[in-house]
Structure 1
Amino acid sequence: MNAEDKKKFRSQAKNLRPFIIISKSGISDNVIENISKNLKANKLTKIKLLKEYVDSVEQDKKELAQMIAEKTKSELIDQVGQMIVLYKR
């Protein structure tokens, strides 16, 4: 995916509300499954990581975003603060 495509998807994602908010319970198989289903239906999704969850794990936010993208077989479009934007063709 080129930079122009990512820019377009980042722009579209600004109007999206987070589909899933990941709290203290973390990234379970059910969370990954729900994200995958949403990506299949909508192609573009936004995820919010709550601060309590981010503070309770060893990985940083970028690593968590990359892990979610890998598990859902999607592409990480953007990660700003606790917001993650994923895209799946």
Structure 2
Amino acid sequence: MKKDDRKSRIKTAGEDEEERMWKNRSFTWMELGILYSPDLTPAAASRRLKVWVTANAGLLRSLGKTGWNRTQRILTPRQVGYIVEVLGEP
């Protein structure tokens, strides 16, 4: 194998790893729910995530400090960050 071929393979592997890394951004409940429960339907995944979040009093307090309410459909990056901090990366 040529030296240049190895470099390109290493670079490609690194790029693939970057794409798989978690990136915090705004998410809908459904999008985030699907990441945590990809085996469920989108609606069921969203409901499951909401159950997990609302069952955790500390997480609810943190979300409340950001202005979150139960009817909110889109989560801010800060709110997503709190959820990921408690539940772990999806």
TM-score norm. by structure 1 comes to 0.30
Q: Which structure has the bigger radius of gyration?
A: 2
More helix, by proportion: 2
